Amino acid sequence: MTTGDRGAEVEIFGERYVLRSSDSPDYLNRVADYVDRKFREVAGEYPALVPSKIAVLASLNIADELFKQGEGFRRREGELLARVDGIVEVLQRGAIVP
């Protein structure tokens, strides 16, 4: 463990883990709770799956959410930049440029 690292003992899908990070234990617990919920969602939909397959499907679901959020962020960023460009253009037309 490096200087500044903290730890938190968490439970994910019935297994205990000690996580070490510079993030707060509260944050680590929130992340672990989120992952645990995703595992339990998959297990609820597919109760016959073994834990390793549940882990893969839960990971894919989390990655899907991350990718979609990133795409949404980039789309909104593009829309905002286009609006800023439009405002700059209007301002430049109204300004006296030597």
Backbone angles phi, psi at 68, to 5 degrees: -65, -40
The Cα 36–Cα 93 span in angstroms is 55
Judge residue 16's burial from the number of C-beta atoms within 10 Å of its C-beta, 0-12 exposed, 13-18 middle, 19 or more buried.
exposed
Please indicate, yes or no, if residue 46 is contained in any of the structural domains.
yes
pLDDT tens for residues 1-37? Answer: 444 688 899 999 999 999 999 999 999 999 999 999 9
Residues in the chain, total: 98
Q: Is residue 55 part of a domain?
A: yes
- Residue 69 falls inside a structural domain: yes
The residue range of the domain holding 79 is 6-94
How many domains does the structure of the chain reveal?
1
Would the pTM count as exceeding 0.95?
Answer: no
Phi, psi angles (nearest 5°) of residue 9: -90, 125
Residue 1 is assigned to a structural domain of this protein: no
> Using N-to-C axis directions, what is the helix angle for 51-94 and 25-45, rounded to 10°?
120
